[in-house]
Structure formats: C-alpha cells, structure tokens
Amino acid sequence: MRLRKKIVLFFIFCSINLLVKAENKRIVSLTPSLTNMVYLLDGQDNIVGSSAFCDKAIEEGKKVVSSQMSVNIEKILNINPDYIITTKLTSYKDIERLRLTGLNVKVFDVASSFDELCDQFIQIGSLIGKKNHAKTIIDNQIKRLNKLQSKIVYNDKPEIFMQLGVKPLFTVISGTFMNDYISLSGGKNIASDFKRGTITRENVLIRDPDVIIIVMMGLTGEEEKQNWKRYSNLKAVKNNKIFIIDDDKACSPTPVTFVDTLEEIIGLIYM
C-alpha cells in the first residue's frame, strides 16, 4: 500500500509540475488571432513578444518583434521565448530562418471554418496548460451558436455580399472561416463559386445581393456604404440592408468574438 501511495503521489507531482511548466511558457505571437486566443485564456503573462498588429499585446507594452514586412529575429532571440506561434500567413522564408536558430516555431493553418478555429483554440490552450478551460469556452460558444440559429426564420436564403477590401474590391469565398459568417447566419454567399476573392463592382451589381456587409471601419467603410447607395436599383439598397462591421473582431476572431460577430450579423440581416 505504501508503494502504491508513493506511485500515485509521484504521478500527481509530475502532473502538477508539467502544468506549471506549461503555464509559464514564454510565447511570441506573430498573428493577432492567436494572440487574442491566448488573452481569452487569461494567458497574457505568457506573451513576451508580438507583431505590430496584435493590439492587446501592444496596449500592455509587449515587445514588438515583427512588422507587416518582416520578422526581427534578433529581437526574438533576445527575448528567448519557449515558443513562437504563427500561421502560414507569415512568410515561409521567415519561418525557416527562425527554425534555423533553434527556436521552437508552431505554425497553424489559417482556419478555414469555425470548427478549425475551435481546434486551434484547444491547441493554444494545451500549449499554456489551459486545455480544459479552452474546452469549456468552446462548449459555451457552441451552445450560443445553436441558440442563435434556432431563432432564424426566413422564406428564402438571403443572398449576401461581404466586402473586405476596396482597391481591388475583395470578397469572402467558400472554404474560409469568414464564409461561415454567411452560411451559419442562414445566408447564401453570392461569390460562393469564386476561386479567388477579387470581384468587380459590376459583378456585384449583376448578382444583386439582398444584403451587403462591409467589413471595415472608419471613413473607408462609410465611403463604401455611400458608394453602394448610389445604385438605387440594387436590392440591398431597396431593402436598406447595407451594414458595416468591425474588421478587427471579424477578421482576427477567437471562438467568442466569432460568435459575437455572427450574432451581430444575424441581428442586422433579420431585424
């Protein structure tokens, strides 16, 4: 019995030790969405460096180690992180340079759906010793999502154009997590047959969406809204269904902010 007790205590000690080590991991994040996930898990103390686009990390004075153009390897080496987390949006050349220095780089795919977003969140949770916390958050968001969908009532699926850029005009296509905003809200993406996101204004007019959702804030978003309103025969204009949503929340989501954005979109479409 004493031997068994010692073995049990040994395994408990090892488990606690591993958990503490995971919670103390020093992380550099080069991707805003991954940074946001760490913060959602109350893992802000794990972040020791970030990109110039990770707003939460910047607000807390975390060291900036990358810009839109390049990654500063010297700054990262000086921080001495346990892990660097990023997506494949970071250039392959920079990722390989980081790995050649011996740094531990974890590269995530760009999430192609809400489900993949949740999978990434659990992986981030495991990395910092908060996997169970991550699972609890996801369970709660799935319940929220199901409840939102249960309230959707429509005769025909509304046809939706979601605009991401102006020059060139850019939209959401199938096989992306942003397309889930449309499909999970009961809508139909007018660009579902596109292979690339570039689209002409003429093409939008021909496809004549019921709803236009502009994913950009500030003056640019307002200017685009006014531009679309000039086309008085467009169904979205007739329906008064041209909306602007927060690009930061929509484009760099956690499981929570994804459902927040979906809730907003559902409210706008069916109000």
Residue range 106-117, pLDDT digits in tens: 999 999 999 999
Residues 6+ apart with CB under 8 A from 7: none
Q: Are residues 45 and 99 in the same domain?
A: yes
| 10 within some domain | yes
Query: Do 213 and 172 belong together in one domain?
Result: yes
Does residue 145 sit within a domain? no
For residue 136 the two structure tokens come to 């609890």
**pTM value?**
0.87
**Within-domain flag for 95:** yes
In the predicted structure, residue 12 carries a pLDDT above the cut 70: no
* pLDDT for residue 256 is more than 60: yes
74 and 165 in one domain?
no
Q: Give the lowest-confidence range in 58-62, 111-115, 204-208, 218-222.
A: 218-222
CATH number of residue 200's parent domain: 3.40.50.1980
Specify the pLDDT at position 22. 56
Looking at the fold, whether 217 and 119 belong to one and the same domain comes out as no
Polymer length of the chain? 271
Residue 146 falls inside a structural domain: no
Same structural domain, 76 and 186: no
Rounded to an integer, the average pLDDT of 156-162 is 95
Confirm whether 122 is domain-assigned: yes
Averaged over 218-228, what is the pLDDT? 88
β-strands 242-245, 211-215: how paired?
A: parallel
Does residue 144 form part of some domain?
A: no
Does residue 230 lie within any of the structural domains? yes
Domain contains 34:
yes
pLDDT band at 64 (very low <50, low <70, confident <90, very high): very high
What integer pLDDT is reported at residue 15 of this predicted model? 42
Indicate if 170 and 260 belong to the same structural domain: yes
Whether residue 255 is preceded by a cis peptide bond, meaning omega within 30 degrees of 0, is: no
**227 shares a domain with 123:** no
Structure tokens at 124: 């981030």
In this structure, are 17 and 112 located in the same domain?
Answer: yes
Q: Within this chain, do residues 118 and 174 fall inside the same structural domain, yes or no?
A: no
User: What are 41-59's pLDDT values in tens digits?
Assistant: 999 999 999 999 999 999 9
Look at residues 88, 116, 139 and tell me which one is the last residue of a structural domain.
139
Looking at 139, 165, 189, the residue that finishes a domain is 139
> How far apart are the C-alpha atoms of 162 and 172, rounded to whole Å?
6
Enclosing domain of residue 74: 2-139
Mean pLDDT across the chain: 90
**Structurally, how many domains does the chain consist of?**
2
Q: Who contacts 116 (Cβ-Cβ below 8 Å, separation ≥6)?
A: 109, 177
Instruction: Assess whether 131 and 18 both reside in one domain.
Output: yes
Do 111 and 177 share a structural domain?
no
Rounded to 5 degrees, what are φ and ψ at 165? -150, 170
Residue ending a domain, among 139, 161, 193, is 139
Q: Examine the domain organization and report whether 99 and 16 are in the same domain.
A: yes
